[in-house]
Structure 1
Amino acid sequence: MTNPGSVIDWLLDSDPSIRWQVMRDLLDAPDPEWAAERAKVETEGWGARLLSFQDEDGQWAGGAFVPTDFDPREWREVGQPWTATCFSLTQLREFGLDPASSRARRTVELIGANSRWDEGGQPYWEGEVEECINGRTVADGAYFGVDVSPIVGRLVGERQDDGGWNCERCNGSVRSSFDSTINVLEGLLEYERATGGTPASRKARRSGEEYLLRRKLFRRLTTGEPADERFLSFLHPNRWRYDILRALDYFRSAAMPSGADPDPRLGEAIDHIRSRRLEDGTWPLDWRPKGRVWFEVDDGPDKPSRWVTLRAMRVLRWWENQRRPNV
């Protein structure tokens, strides 16, 4: 692969969950064409495979956040398990399972009736207590047509003074975190797509964006040093974790409806994305969180990743197209 065309062919020679996004975001295919490909997520490839592991009661692995057979030693010795309902739902959203499909509607109904959060037994669609979890619950719920406005109201009220969010707020933290903030931002954006949002939710989302932009997506505000070197590495699936490619893809997605120009403070992160492109035109997977999964969707760290490449290519395409001078 030495040119964009061959990279596109490599991406298309993949799973429906990647192909439909390539068609929409990189090839500008007509809506009916990419929608037809997207419909295959329910019946073919990774989407169908993940759905095959679903329990009869609508959950995955018998639990909302952790599997029913979970032992805390697993988290310490192996890593956090990723097979329970909340992470499976998020992955189906990222795959692009059509919310209008019969399987999606049935899943939402069953989870609402049967799933309870491990932390306090709350009904699934009422949310938990941590901002990271609730941000993803809002994103998944809004995407799949659930009324998650009570969780949104809670998140708006939990915003830190510096503009973002932190799951450690309940333990006394008064500073936001990159990880918590990106999870909440994605949820608020999905909520706005579904409902238009509220003045308060839109204001909160703008403040969360400003939290990241003031730090150029990865730097400490106090010293200018990287807040975490791993923010500059690429992982997938991100789960709850932050990296600059996830943040850039969020800003791209948020700007698409209005066609707004990218904020110039994204420029340093964009340059880093460009610098990591491999000679064959792809981008690598640098690492992935340890822990139990249903199956892998990449070939492993230090190898070209279709998911990372897709996200990097559409981010750069958006940046370059929107910043191109009018002629």
Structure 2
Amino acid sequence: MAAVGEHVARGFDEPDEVDRDVVSWLLAGDAAVQFQVYRDLLDEERPDLRARAATEGVAARILDARTHGGWGRGFYEPKWTCGHYSLLELRDLAIPQRHPACVDAVQAALSEHIGEDGGFNPADSVRHSDVCMNGMFLAFASYFGADPAALRSIVDFVLRQRMADGGFNCMTNRSGARVSSVHSTTSVIDGLAEYLRCGYLYRADEIRVAVASAVDVLLQRNLYQRRSDGEPIRAEFTRFHDPARWHFDVLRGLDVLRSAGVAYDPRLDAALAIVRHRRRPDGRWVGAAQYPGMTHVVYPRAGTPHRVITLRAMRVLRHFTE
């Protein structure tokens, strides 16, 4: 087993012992965090921890909240305890990909909620599918091994929503938006990249092109800045949230690009500087206030050390500075 701190010291200016202390603190947390620490920071696979992640801690509480009818009042109600966001969080927690409850929930959603436009659409009262929602759905549906044939219409729908600038906006097919959204673009990159990573082949070459152009849209904005004056699009984008769900922030954007295999680009420097700046002297990161809504679990209070955010910050800095 790799020594704690042996690898994670790379990419940081702080002394190695700080990194070792932080990794030890991370490894005292949830099994889902432990698994990702070994995988992403210590270069070691721990399938035993991945199995445990579904039976204890945050993921177990989310899974236990499922009833025979699924989570929440419906697949997209309420936020954040519905099936959609429960499955998205379970995927982000990296539980086993063939977990029966998740596989069944995805299969049921695909059989019940495909809209007339081919997109995933759990709202009977809304005519047009939402591309941001479809990006998120594609991420967890691919992760949990959805039937390839069942995902084809969703892939078709998402690719049709690609905008002239190369990005995505959930209002394009609703109100004619002409400028891509960082929220939607990030969610779609995440979903399409997960689809490819899981080995799906339908329209794979076109998807790679779409991902590359969407990534470039974010890079043109240095991830979070207005192109007109270089100021943050929103101040909230520079604060870190977990779970981020559909919302964009700098850390989520960087982590999605890392997961998609994007290499370092100088246009990431401003975003990476924010991550470094937000690191506390003890080597940890804190989270911002939770987005309003019902949750399955109680998350760390805003302004206190946050293991998931610290893990993500460390693996982002490691990836983009090696």
Cross-structure match for 2:72: 61
Measure how far apart 1:114 and its partner are: 5.9
CA-to-partner distance for each residue in 1:185-231, whole Å, 9 max, x for gaps? 10010111121552211111111100000111111112222111111
Map of 2:264 onto structure 1? 262
Aligned residues of 1:249 and 1:311 also touching (Cα < 8 A): yes
Q: Is the 8 A contact 1:3 1:280 kept in 2?
A: yes
Q: Please tell me whether residue 313 in structure 1 is matched to residue 314 in structure 2.
A: yes
C-alpha separation in 1, matches of 2:94 and 2:290: 21
Shift of 1:110: 4.2
The 5 Å alignment of 1:117-128 reads 117-120=121-124
Encode CA deviations 1:71-106: one digit per residue, 9 max, x unaligned.
xxxxxxxxxx31111000101101112122334333
Alpha-carbon distance change, 251 to 118 in structure 1, aligned in 2, over 3 angstroms: closer
**Aligned counterpart for 1:50 among listed residues 62, 69, 79:** 62
Normalised to the residue count of structure 1, the TM-score between the two structures is 0.85
Superimposed CA distance per residue, residues 41-76 of structure 1 (whole angstroms, 9 cap, x where no aligned partner): 22222111111111213x201301114xxxxxxxxx
CA contact (8 A) 1:2 1:279 kept: no
Task: Please show how residues 278-289 of structure 1 align to structure 2 within 5 Å.
Answer: 278-289=280-291
Per-residue deviation, 1:261: 3.8
Q: Give the match for residue 29 of structure 2.
A: 14
Question: 2:214, 2:108 → 1: CA distance?
Answer: 33
* Distance 1:2-1:279 versus aligned 2 partners, 3 A rule: farther
Structure 2, unaligned runs of 5 or more = 1-15, 115-120
Given that 2:53 and 2:59 are in contact with CA atoms closer than 8 Å, whether structure 1 keeps it comes out as yes
Contact in 2 for aligned 1:217/1:247 (Cα 8 Å): yes
1:171 deviates by 1.1
Q: Which moved more, 1:235-244 or 1:164-173?
A: 164-173
Task: Give the TM-score normalised by the residue count of structure 2.
Answer: 0.86
Rate the CA distance shift 1:99–1:247 in 2: closer, same or farther, 3 A.
same
Q: Which amino acid aligns with 2:142?
A: A
Does the 8 Å CA contact 1:63/1:115 hold for their aligned counterparts?
A: no
Q: SS at 2:210's partner residue?
A: helix
User: Which ranges in structure 1 are unaligned for 5 or more consecutive residues?
Assistant: 68-80, 322-327
Quick check: 2:18–2:283 contact (8 Å CA) kept in 1?
Answer: yes
**Is 1:192 aligned to residue 196 of structure 2?**
yes
Q: Supply the AA of the counterpart residue of 1:39.
A: A
Distance 1:103 1:252 in 2: 28
- Which secondary structure does the structure 1 equivalent of 2:178 belong to? coil
RMSD value over aligned CA atoms?
2.1
Contact kept? 2:31, 2:50, Cα under 8 Å? yes
Distance 2:297 2:96 in 1: 21
| 1:121-167 deviation per Cα after TM superposition (whole angstroms, max 9, x unaligned) | 79xxxx97011111101111111111322111111111111111111
Equivalent residue in structure 2 for 1:244, among 243, 250, 258: 250
CA contact (8 A) 1:82 1:291 kept: yes
Q: Structure 2 vs 1, CA of residues 82 and 101 (structure 1 numbering), >3 Å: closer, same or farther?
A: closer
In the alignment, the residues of structure 2 paired with residue 128 and residue 55 of structure 1 have an alpha-carbon distance, to the nearest angstrom, of: 29
* Cross-structure match for 2:235: 229
1:137 corresponding residue in structure 2: 137
Residues of 2 paired with 1:26 and 1:192: CA distance? 23
Q: In structure 1, what is the Cα distance between the partners aligned to 2:271 and 2:107? A: 40
Conserved in 2, the CA contact under 8 Å of 1:233 and 1:287?
Answer: no
* 8 A contact 1:90–1:140 mirrored in 2: yes
Moved more, 220-229 or 308-317: 220-229
- Residue pairs, 1:66-145, within 5 angstroms: 66-67=77-78, 81-112=79-110, 117-120=121-124, 129-145=129-145
Q: Does the CA-based 8 Å contact 2:75-2:122 persist in structure 1?
A: yes
Q: Give the number of equivalent residue pairs.
A: 295
1:211 equivalent in structure 2: 217
Find the aligned partners of 1:207 and 1:112 in 2 and give their Cα distance: 28
CA contact (8 A) 1:2 1:281 kept: no
What does 1:126-165 correspond to in 2, within 5 Å?
129-146=129-146, 147=148, 148-165=151-168
Instruction: Quote the Cα distance in structure 1 between the aligned partners of 2:143 and 2:277.
Output: 33
- How far apart are residue 253 of structure 1 and its match? 1.4
More helix by share: 1
Matched residues in 1 for 2:155 and 2:112: separation?
22
- C-alpha separation in 2, matches of 1:204 and 1:17: 31
Partner in structure 2 of residue 71 of structure 1: none
Return the offset for 1:289. 0.4
